[in-house]
Amino acid sequence: MTDERKLLLLGLLRQTEMHGYLLNEHLDGFAPLTLKKPTAYNLLDRMQRDGWVEGREEATGERTRTVYSLTEKGENEFLRLLREQVPEYVPNESPALVSIGFLDALTPSEALALLERRREAAQAFRRSLGDSADDPHAHAGSGYLPVEYARRLADLDIEFLGEVVAHIEHGKDEKA
């Protein structure tokens, strides 16, 4: 999945040049994938060696930070990766669904109790994504699409959990 991460870094640097620390703050928040600090710094190094980005040393007193910006080669690679990735459909994996598939190993009441906790966690996560209206990363028109997608996905999860709960409650009734 290196390609997606590279595209992400290139895309962000393409919009505004940045130093690694700032980049990492962005990534923590709204990125559609995990990209931890060491990984980001490492990728920046490699992309600099490959000539995709260039680092300009910026000194504030004793402290220096490296501000990265896209080179022309980087712009080309960005477009190449983009044209490669957009037309490809790679369905998300959903490891979290494995456990849901085995709920029938539990008693209905225990399953319901555990599902309720999952649903609350999902709702809390959904709230943390905010509404389309007050999106801090909103682009012109439609908001930052990956965040909007994350909202939809969380909504789907909550709805799906609700249906699973309903189904178990129904089965419970039948047996009573």
Partner DNA sequence: TATAACATGTAACAAGTTACATGATTTC
Partner DNA sequence: GAAATCATGTAACTTGTTACATGTTATA
Name the DSSP letter for residue 19. Answer: E
Which residues from 68-127 bind DNA, rule CB under 7 A? none
**Residues whose CB falls within 8 Å of the CB of residue 84, separated by 6 or more in sequence, listed in order:** 3
- Cα 110 to Cα 138: distance, rounded to the nearest angstrom: 41
Residue 2 binds DNA (CB under 7 A): yes
Minimal distance, residue 156 CB to its own copies, in Å: 6
How far from chain centre, in Å, is Cα 44? 19
Which residues from 22-51 bind its own copies, rule CB under 8 A? 31-34
In the shown chain, the binding pattern of residues 55 to 74 toward its own copies, with x for contact by CB under 8 A and - for none, equals: --------------------
The closest of 103, 97, 95 to 169, measured between CA atoms, is 103
Other CB atoms within a 10 A radius of the CB of residue 24 amount to 19
Q: Which residues of this chain interact with its own copies, rule CB under 8 A?
A: 1, 4-5, 7-8, 11, 14, 31-34, 78-79, 81-83, 85-106, 110-111, 114-115, 117-119, 121-122, 125, 139, 141-142, 144-146, 149-150, 152-154, 156-157, 160, 164, 167, 171
